[in-house]
Amino acid sequence: MNDPDSPSSLDSVLAEILVREENGERPDPHEYLEKHPDHAEELRDFFRNHRWLGSEDAEPATLVGQTIGEFRIIREVARGGMGVVYEAQQDSLRRVVAIKLIGDGVLANDEVRLRFRVEAEAAASLSHPNILPIHSIGCWRGIDYFVMPMVSGDSLQSLVDQQREGCRDGSMATAEVKECVMKAVAFMRDISRGVAYAHSRGIIHRDLKPENVLVDDGVPKIVDFGLAKFHRDSPELTRNGQVLGTPHYMSPEQARGCGDLTDAVDVYALGGMLFSMLTGSPPHSGESTAEVLSRVLSDEPPSLRLAYPGGMPRLPELADLDHVIQRAMACEPTERYRSADELADDLDRILVGETPLAAPDGLVHRMSRELARDQHLHAFQNWGRALRGIGYVVLAAHIAMFVIMQWVYVDTPSDLAAWSQPAFWGYFVPRLLMLAGIAWVIGRARDGLWLPRISAERPVWSIWLGYLVALSSINLLWISGNLDHSGVMVMACVMSGFAFIAIAGHMWGGSALLGMGFIGMAFASVAIPVAAPLFLGGWWMVTMLVFSKRYRRME
């Protein structure tokens, strides 16, 4: 007699399924899972993979006409990644409801089932006029489901589409535009209140978007808590590096796959939804998911003034809303509204004609924000030790230049010829050794790889390649007799300053201040030519120490 747990027993079950399919039958997965519980996981994998490989032209299974408990399925309403929603008749209470079943049915894996239960539990624990409630939860033939009120209206996305068409038409009068704007603000105010209520109950939605808001008799209802995060969630649902959500409305920290997400991700998404309702377009777009995620990580918050189709109408409300969006969608979570309630309060102020708290930033604040900004901190965070090593090498080389020029060749003239012995030993040899040392440090830090490995490195490589080419040209001018030796160090300071100011637009904004420091060293070198190597090498050391502290490896 065969052991039911043996591989041969599983093989015979799979063979039976394949034979039935060859005979034109459609084996019911639920039947086999009930009959062979010891092989449940293997059978789920088989049915999922078999369906994926062999039935690409098959219509998705439908339950229309079936009866699930006391619910009679009338029609399919929507189908998504997490589940299928049907309209159903509940005869016992003589009402029409919506019933959502888990997408893969009995074939759903443990993580999908857990997320589905989290969605049901999250919505069931909330009671707010702007959140669609849950009537009941159940399981039918191994398929989890929950029951909700049936909403007759469309999703908020339909209003976004209408706004896009209205903007393209361009024939709306100013009064009509204002009416549409205030309607959008009122909707987003109510949605923000609902999100704030969920946050107060320890729930972060993590997938807010127009498609996940239904409009029932003019009242927005938040739905689809499938990616919701309880503050008590288990690690299985909040792993680092796992990117969850819709890219177009995703915050930068969510796009990076950070596991420790806060309410700020929902505030960011609310700002994106407000932008969409006013312009008819998502805040971030692209040809592919990767392109959208790249823009989320690198772009500044979208400007309503620049993105409004045909130019933004001259409405003070739109100007105020531009500031609100900038605040809600700030790249850093700490710069956003502190809560969804705070965002709703600002929208309330606009509705009653008051100025929102998200007033335009002053020049000093904006400059300090730009200097603190670093869009590629995570890409260079393991460069700390290498940058410090480069600083030591550059400082040592320039100290050697100073010592050789001042102590070995005491009477060196200021118009030193490039082909002279002092120039060879006091400039070219230390500089060549410096370049070799820098190359060794970089090669060691990058495991011998010299070309850029990620897109964030390419502009940095380009800037420093240009720096080396320009510095070589300066040396050639000296060699050809068209530049005095004293001018070489001054030009090297200026070129270093230019390079760090240029890097500020791609990496850390504070490098612009360090670049200005090099410009200051250029003036100091003109005033005291003999100390020029110390000025240049010393400021390089300071700069590299500052950078190494910023781009240290995070433990």
Contact (CB, 8 A) for 191 and 130: yes
Distance CA 519, CA 538 (A): 13
Longest CA span, the chain: 107
Task: Please provide the distance, in angstroms rounded to a whole number, between the alpha carbons at the two ends of the chain.
Answer: 57
* φ, ψ of residue 15 in degrees (nearest 5): -65, -40
- Sign of the four-CA dihedral 262, 264, 267, 268: negative
Question: DSSP letters along 296-321, please?
Answer: HHHSPPPPHHHHSTT---S-HHHHHH
How is the beta sheet containing 67-68 ordered, strand by strand?
A: 67-68, 71-79, 83-90, 95-102, 143-149, 136-140
Determine the 3-state secondary structure of 90 from DSSP.
strand
Contact (CB, 8 A) for 73 and 63: yes
DSSP type of residue 131: B
Where are the alpha helices (H) located in 404-510, listed in sequence order?
Answer: 421-423, 429-445, 458-479, 485-503
Query: 107: buried, middle or exposed (CB in 10 Å: 19+, 13-18, 0-12)?
Result: buried
Choose, from 104, 144, 190, 207, the residue flagged as catalytic: 207
* φ, ψ of residue 146 in degrees (nearest 5): -145, 155
Contact (CB, 8 A) for 408 and 427: no
DSSP type of residue 207: -
Distance CA 270, CA 277 (A): 11
Say whether 207 is catalytic. yes
Distance CA 130, CA 243 (A): 27
Mind telling me the catalytic residues? 207
